[in-house]
Chains A and B, each alone.
Chain A
């Protein structure tokens, strides 16, 4: 019984690991192949099955004039837009969430919970519904095809996530902490900054992670709201495709594009396993 349990446990772990890792391995080997090795049947082991080369990777940094696609600029555009929008969303979202958690708002029948729901309801709508309003809005303020315009749109999309996560988090932070800080001599702003906020770092990390992921992977709005001046990474990667699908450079760009998320995940995982997140709130 016990042996069977252990066997099944490891069996499922192995299956799951293969399931998760296989696409990465596939992408990694493919990125070093050329046309011949991709189309010549299934091959896995470099130098034995096929002769690896760096063409797929070189295309990504070569300028278009030399037959490349140059994803470096879109890459940094994406980093800049995602980080800026996430940061602003987290700051605004945290402030609104704290207010929604600690103070009572009332406008007719609209109360705190309704306001929180209003925020998250922005994410319930299918993005396609928002595309035309966003397009018209950005064009009216002349921000189409610009980084600033994208940042504005991404803040609209990411802030509800931050508000939603942080309201829930602040509701779990006992009010007595704020009250004690007031009694100890802080004004309400200091109480928030010096006491409540440091206690909320786990929540901030979770909210930050969600914002970064949703911001980074967005293709739809980046595609609709930019043309030639500014391009974001997902759009550029899709643009790689042509009549002959360049699997090698697509694979390389896919790996490059998930790299930041993998790094973020590793850092957060480290932080989690150190126990820094657990037991922070009594």
Chain B
């Protein structure tokens, strides 16, 4: 339980090379005590490096790490009191499930009764109670991963529990329950949880703060709602949400409106100080609806296909060279090939050089 400050951290795996390649570009960030964070990004974007820096397995090339304002950059992993769960199950084969779960407490000289109490409580949460005395190596892969997870959760006083895609090997049903359990544990014990994933749904449902990363860069940090409605960059807009954000190359036509394919779209953004011509308009397909009686921000499109995805319909339409996707309710009638869609001005995001204005 600690506030974790990452200050000007950067990391390269070949720092002595004349042209070092940075796995992590300089960034600063604070993880408040007791919050749930998700680090989201495609494979190879530096997520795991970031976790390993916090846990001390990797020493950053530059920058400081502070736990509760105490500098721990040079502190060894074993002295940091941090928990980390890896993507694939890591268990101590020669021990029983109980011994596995008790190991972090044993290493730190907890009393027998305290150990018993903690192991039993964690085993209860993770459904491992009936296996406590079996050899850990005899369990299935997802049970093994539960043991890894359990070892992460067994200490109450850890600075943070870092999880590196911990639920990859677990089947969807149990995954859902475990995510809820993790949330409960976080609410009950106020443990800081950091969760690395490349699955946006996992990140959105789990965390109250999401850190989006791309190519060693922290692109945006914010609540799921902020990331969804106001993506900082076109990458975030593209990466988060399903389908991805609609992005249109556009021309500026006045202080607050752009032109796409000769349709005038009003926005709430001040467009008077632009430096480049590389302007894109971004809008979530959730906000595009079939026009009812609006008289501005309308576009004429050609419906290409309508997919019924259970709880909503996804319309894919063409407007010149642009493809537009719109999510509408199942009840919506799609009159014919040619429809008018309405783009609400307050939901429009304008990007200059792929960055939000």
Contact = CB atoms under 8 A, between A and B. Distances in A.
Interface of A: 174, 176-177, 179-187, 190, 195, 198-199, 201, 279-282
Contacts of B90: 174, 176-177, 179-180
A185 B157 CA distance: 13
Interface residues of B, number: 28
Given A186-B107, A199-B93, A280-B94, 18 more contacts: A174-B90, A176-B88, A177-B90, A179-B57, A179-B77, A181-B92, A182-B56, A182-B57, A182-B76, A183-B57, A183-B77, A183-B78, A183-B82, A190-B107, A195-B92, A198-B95, A280-B93, A282-B137
B84 interface: yes
B197 interface: no
Contacts of A201: 94
Nearest to B81: A185
A186 B105 CA distance: 11
7 contacts: A177-B90, A179-B90, A180-B90, A183-B78, A183-B82, A185-B104, A282-B141
B82 A184 contact: no
Nearest to A179: B57
Nearest to A191: B78
Contacts of A180: 84, 86, 90, 148, 151
B229 to A, nearest CB: 37
A180 to B, nearest CB: 5
Given A190-B107, A282-B88, A282-B144, A182 B77 contact: yes
B187 to A, nearest CB: 24
A280 B92 CA distance: 9
B232 interface: no
Contacts, number: 66
Given A180-B148, A184-B103, A184-B151, A199 B92 contact: yes
Contacts of B108: 185
Interface in B67-85: 76-78, 81-84
Nearest to B107: A185
A181 B104 CA distance: 8
6 closest Cβ pairs, A-B complex: A185-B107, A198-B94, A184-B104, A182-B77, A180-B90, A176-B90
B326 interface: no
A201 B92 CA distance: 13
Interface in B103-124: 103-104, 107-108
Contacts of A185: 78, 81, 104, 107-108
A244 B352 CA distance: 103
B14 to A, nearest CB: 13
A186 B76 CA distance: 10
